[in-house]
Amino acid sequence: MQPKIYPVDEHKIAPDKIDTHAFYVIQKLRQAGHKAYLVGGGVRDLLLGACPKDFDVSTSAKPEEIKALFRNAILIGRRFRLAHIRFGKKVIEVSTFRSGATEEAGLIVRDNEWGSEEQDVLRRDFTINGLFYDPESQKVIDYVDGYPDLEKKILRTIGKPDIRFTQDPVRMIRLIKFCARFNFEIHHPTFEALLSCKGEILKSSQARIFEELLRMLESGSSKAFFHLLNEYGLLKALSQPMAVYLDRPNNVSLQLLSAIDDEVRKNVPLDRSFLLAALIFPLFQENVMERSKRETLHLGQIAEMAHRTIDQVFHPFFNIPRRMRGIMGFIMTAQFRLVPLDGKVRKPRPPRDPFFPHALHLLKLRASIDPTLLPHYTLWTEASFDAHELAELPPKRRRRKRRRRRGNEEPV
């Protein structure tokens, strides 16, 4: 198969947009006699005029050959062996050209069969992610008509979509992710396969899906993503309680996700535990309010309910790490300390818990939706500021008592 080549005067990717470390890696691989290109999401984002978060490299060099060339490289993965080349905190991910793009249904359990650049493209998920970029010649290399799909804003699988989704069901999550991020239209056969294969999602690795959900909470497009995830029926398979809640009109979770998206676009750093707590807090609040009609609740009971809600929403498919679960429980429970169930405004005493600022941040987002919470947020913010100022003051010096002189002794 001959690829279509798009020169710089057509694709208009500016050379200064290419990461210098990624360019260095490509040059060094080529000097050693290997083929190497930028590939995947980085090329896609450059063509869309966005700044890529990552620059991935695909090469004919095998993982052991990559490691031999770069002292700062480590090899990771068993199912999918690749190299991470570190430059300080930055990582350039380098993968070897793979084959294995078959038309046979069934989960892919092994993905370390080396191949050509053409074979490597054909085993990728969507046409918009199947483009190579040669930074030396400044050419885009397209084997799968990904370039026109980008121009038309179409999401289409490489190969038969039903087979591609059964081979790796996480691709369905990624399809919804790109639809939410870019507002692209899904190619009709791909959309039909999404609806017919959605039950396959439970055969996926929960760790991979959980990571995709966390990344979308950090993406600035989380509201659109969770709305589509629920609309297309995948959320019901992963978390039925959350799907039932999101089906309600004007539900608070989507409003909170909209507020989170605004913060992400302003580059406000947000902890992942905070993001998950914000996602499920409205469902938790509803449970607490319903029970409070029957009995008086104290914070210990509310904390137990917080952990039960986490289990209710995420089990049995997801396994939340213990530390993350604990932070989520604290943030959710603290909302009823910040705003008591009886609604009374009391003199605040900010705790010294390191995660209290996350709880206060969630109250801030809630107050942006419900202005009646603003007095509580203002009071706790002022009290937290005063407590912080007090903690920053130097300790008072103890005054030394003067010794009384004996008789008419002169001081020395």
Can you spell out the DSSP letters for 80-122?
S-EEEEEETTEEEEEEE-B----S--S-------B--HHHHHH
d(CA 377, CA 367): 7
Residue 145 maps to a domain: yes
What's residue 16's pLDDT? 94
Round to whole Å and give the CA distance between 56 and 95: 8
CATH number at residue 118: 3.30.460.10
- 316 found inside a domain: no
The answer to whether position 148 is within a domain reads: yes
Which residues are known to be catalytic? 54, 56, 125
Q: In the prediction, which pLDDT does 297 show?
A: 94
- According to the 3-state scheme, what is the secondary structure of 26-40? HHHHHHCCCCEEEEC
Number of domains within the chain: 1
Rg (C-alpha) for the chain, rounded Å, is 27
**pLDDT per residue of the chain (412 residues) written in tens, 0 to 9:** 899 999 999 999 999 999 999 999 999 999 999 999 999 999 999 999 999 989 999 999 999 999 999 999 999 988 789 999 999 999 999 999 998 765 655 555 556 689 999 999 999 999 999 999 999 999 999 999 999 999 999 999 999 999 999 999 999 999 999 999 999 999 999 999 999 999 999 999 999 999 999 999 999 999 999 999 999 999 999 999 999 999 998 899 999 999 999 999 999 999 999 999 999 999 999 999 999 999 999 999 999 999 999 999 999 999 999 999 999 999 999 999 999 998 777 788 888 899 999 999 999 999 999 999 999 999 999 998 765 544 444 555 545 555 555 554 443 3
**Letter for the amino acid at 234?**
L
- CA 362/CA 297 separation, integer angstroms: 21
Confirm whether 394 is domain-assigned. no
pLDDT at 386: 61
Residue 14 belongs to some domain of the structure: yes
Q: Long-range contact list for 76-82, CB < 8 A, 24+ apart?
A: 79/109, 79/110, 79/111, 79/112, 80/111, 80/112, 81/112
Sign of CA dihedral 37, 41, 47, 51: negative
CA dihedral 98, 102, 107, 109 (to 10 degrees): -30
340 in any annotated domain: no
Crossing angle of the two packed helices 299-314 and 322-338, in degrees rounded to 10: 130
Tell whether 53 is covered by a domain: yes
- Buried b / exposed e over 74-93, threshold 16 CB at 10 Å, is eeeeeeebbbbbeeeeebbb
Q: Is residue 116 situated within a structural domain?
A: yes
What domain range includes position 110? 1-152
**C-alpha span between 118 and 3 (Å, rounded):** 8
3-state secondary structure string, 342-383?
Answer: CCCCCCCCCCCCCCHHHHHHHHHHHHHHCHHHHHHHHHHHHH
